[in-house]
């Protein structure tokens, strides 16, 4: 399968990230050569999307290991664990970040002090990246199978969940790609996704590149589109899923779920099991990141609101499990998720 654009490129001694703040007008890669640069890339939205953040952080640990071992070959571990802590602080909501860092810490703990950790950590980071692509392709197949048996229909998606947000292929957008290839989807309605416009700048860009019929809509147009009757599924990704099936995702996802239930539209969440946090009982336990007011008050350098206006800018919301028809992971499909089904799915 075509994996789509490569937003994350590992160069052995550096990490290159496609600057998603500049798309679709400018395709520029930012080179990161140390941990601080990877932290900044995650925090400043050069790379975004929960799986992509986790993969980038894993490569960041490799860069940190190389620097720490070269400077302190007999005592690299303490400094590297500080680097892991800095990466963990870069974004608070996406659990894939902490999942990937936990895998890297397990490798760190298994290595002797006097031995270079670089090769083994690089191997683990590459494995995380490759596993993500394989998981996305599997989820694409499972999600498409879930929609079979219906007449071809339109779908709505929110934010960006494609190759740009993952190691490749995509989560929700991966399902859309697979379902379109199978002749199930006629058209994709992509929410613009304020305030960073990931739907307008990124999802629309990926769909155009794939040749998938798509229409960009304002976030506030979703109810009108659902009312038309042509939309049968809303398909979204996730940044964290709790033990009861509640889902944190880009702000605006919750309102889509409420609208979908009212209009009889099914609601699908697509995410790898690395996004599931069984340590949190419900969505009320998820830390919701708030970003600067300026993201709402300005569009790049253009002032959108009065100079003294205030803004509230939560960048995620939580969709309760009772509004979700299916959660699709690489391990299978959870219909109408609840705590028992989540526990069984996660073994």
Angle at CA 43, nearest 5°, toward 329 and 287?
A: 60
Angle at CA 93, nearest 5°, toward 92 and 98?
A: 70
Block means of pLDDT (10 residues each) for the chain, 347 residues, are 78 96 94 98 94 96 96 91 96 88 96 90 98 96 95 97 95 97 97 96 95 97 97 97 98 98 98 96 96 92 93 97 98 98 97
Contact predicate 55/167, CB 8 Å: yes
Residues 6 or more apart whose Cβ sits within 8 Å of residue 72: 79
Give which of 84, 101, 35 is closest to 274, Cα–Cα: 101
- Residue 182's H or E segment, with its range, is none
- Confidence at residue 3, expressed as pLDDT on a 0 to 100 scale: 64
- Confidence at residue 28, expressed as pLDDT on a 0 to 100 scale: 96
- Confidence at residue 2, expressed as pLDDT on a 0 to 100 scale: 55
- Confidence at residue 321, expressed as pLDDT on a 0 to 100 scale: 98
- Confidence at residue 1, expressed as pLDDT on a 0 to 100 scale: 44
What structural domains does the chain harbor?
Answer: 8-133 (1.20.120.420), 141-345 (3.40.50.10470)
Catalytic residues: 239
Q: What is the CA radius of gyration of the chain?
A: 20
């Amino acid at each position: 399968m075509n994996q789509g654009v490569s937003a994350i490129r590992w160069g052995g001694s550096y990490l290159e990230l496609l600057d998603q703040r500049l798309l679709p007008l400018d395709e520029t890669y930012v080179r990161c050569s140390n941990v601080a640069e990877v932290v900044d890339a995650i925090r400043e939205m050069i790379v975004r999307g929960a799986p992509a953040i986790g993969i980038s952080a894993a490569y960041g640990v490799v860069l940190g290991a190389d620097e720490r071992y070269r400077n302190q070959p007999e005592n690299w571990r303490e400094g590297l664990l500080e680097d892991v802590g800095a990466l963990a602080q870069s974004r608070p909501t996406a659990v894939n970040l902490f999942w990937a860092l936990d895998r890297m810490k397990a490798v760190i703990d298994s290595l002797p002090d006097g031995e270079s950790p670089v090769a083994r950590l690089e191997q683990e980071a590459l494995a995380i990246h490759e596993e993500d692509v394989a998981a996305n392709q599997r989820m694409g197949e499972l999600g498409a199978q879930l929609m079979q048996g219906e007449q071809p229909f339109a779908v709505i998606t929110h934010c960006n969940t494609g190759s740009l947000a993952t190691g490749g292929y995509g989560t929700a957008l991966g399902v859309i790609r697979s379902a379109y290839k199978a002749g199930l989807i006629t058209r994709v309605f992509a929410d613009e996704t304020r305030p960073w416009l990931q739907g307008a700048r990124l999802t629309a860009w990926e769909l155009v590149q794939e040749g998938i019929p798509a229409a960009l809509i304002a976030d506030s147009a979703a109810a009108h589109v659902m009312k038309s009757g042509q939309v049968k599924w809303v398909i979204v990704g996730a940044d964290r899923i709790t033990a009861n099936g509640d889902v944190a995702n880009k702000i605006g996802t919750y309102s889509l779920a409420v609208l979908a239930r009212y209009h009889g539209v099914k609601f699908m969440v697509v995410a790898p099991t690395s996004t599931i946090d069984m340590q949190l009982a419900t969505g009320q336990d998820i830390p919701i990141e708030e970003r600067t007011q300026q993201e709402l008050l300005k569009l790049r350098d253009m002032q959108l609101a009065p100079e003294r206006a205030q803004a509230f800018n939560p960048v995620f919301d939580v969709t309760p499990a009772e509004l979700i028809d299916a959660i699709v992971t690489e391990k299978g499909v959870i219909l109408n998720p609840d705590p028992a089904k989540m526990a069984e799915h996660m073994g």
